Structure 1
Amino acid sequence: MSTHYSPCLDLGGLLRVAGGGVLISFSGLFVKLAHVGPSQSAFYRMFLGGVALLFVALARRERLRARRGVWAVMVAAAVFFALDLECWHRSILLIGPGLATIIGNFQVFFIAIAGAVLLRERLSVRHMAAIPLALAGLWWLLGVSPAELLPVAADGGLAVGDALAGVAYGFATALFYTGFILLLRHSQGMGGMLTPVANMALVSLVCAALIGAGILARGGAFAIGDAPSLGYLVTYGILCQAAGWALLSTGLPRLPASLAGLVMVVQPALAFVWDILLFDRPTDGWGMAGAGLSLFAIWLGLSGASGGSGGSGARVCRPGDLEAAPDAVAAGESPSGADRDSDAA
């Protein structure tokens, strides 16, 4: 999580992060509603979102040329993002957007572990407490009253194999997203780096090219069978990938870690709510408790990414309060990986 310098609450940053989280929370719904395969929905999300971000970067006259080393890191990040989306979309179709999104957000723990192992960063007390809590919440979601919580096959039997495969894809999503975030952070810290919007525009388009190549290699097609699916995919790319990511990338650096982590939990929480309301996901009291425990653990992990909570001040910033603070966004600081898809998300 980025460092927050202001002694007051940046209301603009708060609204951007909340808005970005709300937009990205709809990602899984569009994947499930569009009548295309998981790879095709991933391709259209990245292609359409990348084009939209590219137009924003061009309108702002942001530089799009980067050194060869920066390009190499961006391409590697795109490879991990492509694998992340391939796994996440399959997880959504198997276990629903709510649970798939919650498991995918376990990336906050993998990032913390990777930082401790690879970068010798100290694992915070919050992270160490959050990991077992998250696993306990997931156990409640999957292990308690399986007749109600696991997907039901067409013949009325439990689709246990699909559920386990969906969970496995969810954890793979979190692992690949961890690699993507670490590489994206590295690209934003290199000399000659691009702005966050330009950087993500190019990563999105490279990612779309990689997913598209995979579709062609498997003999797949890009056809969209009906008008509603086209509308869902266009909305998915522009609203969730482009708009959601842009809001998060400009809002996260302006908030303290603890507050940003709390606000970001709106994304997996709402994804779970949409799954219940729109797709009639069967969830009893134990399931709700498990989801709540997992979300609480995710918040602990997000807010534990920074040692201090400085800046959570009691009052909203006035116009002159932020003039002396470093402009993290203008400096090209990227989000900490708190967003699941930008999911973004």
Structure 2
Amino acid sequence: MIGLLIGAIIISFSPVMVVLAGLPPEVAAFYRLFGGGLGLLVVLAKQGKLKLFTPHVLKWGLFGGVFFAGDFTFWHRSIGYVGPGLSTMLGSFQIIPLALVSALFFKERLSPKLIIGIPLALIGLYLMVGVQWGTFTADYQIGVIFGLLAACFYALYLLSLKYALARDRADTMVMAAAVAIITGLLQGGSALAQGESFGIPSLESLVAIVTLALVCHAVGWLLITQGIRTERGALVGLVLLLQPMLSFVWDLLFFDKPVVVVELVGVGVALLGIYIGSLKSCKEQSSKLLS
């Protein structure tokens, strides 16, 4: 329980580190994912698991990596427009596209919890951004849209990873390391294509990006994965909601995010809906490298 809690708190600082790094979106994602993936490789090497990187793992790592790259591309851009708190909250709405795609294409029935949770999440979303939509700048509106697109790509990533893990019973950490490295390379290639610089502009930026890769990504994910394997599903789902909630709090504390009461109410309602909707499948979240 303590490790799971610490892991959720550590990962909640991820969007804060992205802001402090001050790097272009794809460059920040490259350093985070490729560096974090290498960190996981070191752990796997010590456990003697490098031989588990089979063609199946690499194939599905590439497939999932494409969706994960889309998630990071839109999420990092959303951070730049609306800040780390709201962007992370918006990314948590993956339960909605995840449920819809599962129902439409995989013929999975919506559970009663999802039927309750999805409307609550949508009400929360409306209170967070819908009520004030007309007062937002164009850039802020784009940031909201990017955050929701990140949630859609994240849902597709989860579905692809769920299928890959179920089909071959691949080791979760091995698959996560493969996805991280492949996604990092995809993001790095995108940065090169756009002519972005990989230079680190300052010591603060260097500390932030190293913390993002090795602490937030690698250590935080390891702690959460271990906790998911030992704790009750409902407890796991509740603790994992600390990530978007604390990211929102850090935005208020560190970056003076302006906020109104209706937005705070929306955050609370959305978190409740996401929690209820994710109860059935929260153990499957071990397959995600959390944002």
TM-score band, normalised by the shorter chain?
Answer: over 0.9
Residue 65 of structure 1 and its aligned partner are, at CA, apart by 4.3
Q: Match of 1:161?
A: 138
Could you tell me which of 92, 105, 123 is aligned with 2:92?
105
Q: Give the counterpart letter for 2:127 in structure 1.
A: W
Residue 39 of structure 1 and its aligned partner are, at CA, apart by 1.1
Asked which structure has the greater CA Rg, the reply is 1
**Consecutive aligned runs of 4 or more in structure 1 exceeding 6 Å deviation:** none
1:236 matched to 2:212? The reply is yes
Q: 1:79 to 1:146 in 2, by over 3 A?
A: closer
Could you tell me which of 251, 256, 263 is aligned with 1:287?
263
Identity of matched residues, %: 35
- What are the within-5 Å matches in structure 2 for residues 39-188 of structure 1? 39-144=26-131, 160-188=137-165
Paired with 1:305 and 1:36, the residues of 2 have a C-alpha distance of 34
Residue 113 of structure 1 and its aligned partner are, at CA, apart by 2.1
Q: Match of 2:284?
A: 336
Instruction: Indicate if the aligned counterparts of 1:131 and 1:297 stay in contact, CA closer than 8 A.
Output: yes
Structure 1 gap segments, 5+ residues each: 1-13, 148-157, 307-334
Q: 1:170 to 1:87 in 2, by over 3 A?
A: same
Residues 317-338 of structure 1: CA deviation (Å, up to 9, x unaligned): xxxxxxxxxxxxxxxxxx5237
Q: Match of 2:202?
A: 226
Q: Match of 1:198?
A: 174
Instruction: Indicate if the aligned counterparts of 1:261 and 1:338 stay in contact, CA closer than 8 A.
Output: no
Paired with 2:224 and 2:107, the residues of 1 have a C-alpha distance of 27
1:276 matched to 2:252? The reply is yes
Instruction: Indicate if the aligned counterparts of 1:45 and 1:233 stay in contact, CA closer than 8 A.
Output: yes
Q: Give the counterpart letter for 1:225 in structure 2.
A: P
SS in 2 for 1:220: coil
Q: Match of 1:11?
A: none
Q: Give the counterpart letter for 1:55 in structure 2.
A: V
Instruction: Indicate if the aligned counterparts of 1:257 and 1:302 stay in contact, CA closer than 8 A.
Output: no
SS in 2 for 1:135: helix
Q: 1:227 to 1:38 in 2, by over 3 A?
A: same
Residue 273 of structure 1 and its aligned partner are, at CA, apart by 0.5
Q: 1:52 to 1:72 in 2, by over 3 A?
A: same
Residues 200-241 of structure 1: CA deviation (Å, up to 9, x unaligned): 112111111111111111122211111110100000011111
Residue 66 of structure 1 and its aligned partner are, at CA, apart by 3.8
Instruction: Indicate if the aligned counterparts of 2:172 and 2:286 stay in contact, CA closer than 8 A.
Output: no
Which stretch of the first structure deviates more once superposed, 268-277 or 193-202?
A: 193-202
Paired with 1:132 and 1:43, the residues of 2 have a C-alpha distance of 35
Q: Match of 2:18?
A: 31
Question: TM-score if structure 2 supplies the norm length?
Answer: 0.93
Residue 146 of structure 1 and its aligned partner are, at CA, apart by 6.3
Residues 238-282 of structure 1: CA deviation (Å, up to 9, x unaligned): 111111111222221323332221111111110111111111111
Which stretch of the first structure deviates more once superposed, 120-129 or 223-232?
A: 120-129
Paired with 2:223 and 2:161, the residues of 1 have a C-alpha distance of 17
Q: Give the counterpart letter for 1:131 in structure 2.
A: I
Paired with 2:263 and 2:192, the residues of 1 have a C-alpha distance of 40
Residue 195 of structure 1 and its aligned partner are, at CA, apart by 2.1
Question: TM-score if structure 1 supplies the norm length?
Answer: 0.79
1:16 matched to 2:14? The reply is no
Q: Give the counterpart letter for 2:202 in structure 1.
A: D
Which stretch of the first structure deviates more once superposed, 109-118 or 159-168?
A: 109-118
Q: 1:285 to 1:71 in 2, by over 3 A?
A: same
Q: Give the counterpart letter for 2:224 in structure 1.
A: L
Paired with 1:81 and 1:289, the residues of 2 have a C-alpha distance of 30
* Count of aligned residue pairs for this structure pair: 291
Paired with 1:67 and 1:36, the residues of 2 have a C-alpha distance of 34
SS in 1 for 2:50: coil
Q: Match of 2:189?
A: 213
Residue 85 of structure 1 and its aligned partner are, at CA, apart by 0.5
Residue 22 of structure 1 and its aligned partner are, at CA, apart by 0.8
SS in 2 for 1:223: coil
Instruction: Indicate if the aligned counterparts of 1:135 and 1:294 stay in contact, CA closer than 8 A.
Output: yes
- What are the within-5 Å matches in structure 2 for residues 307-318 of structure 1? none
SS in 2 for 1:105: helix
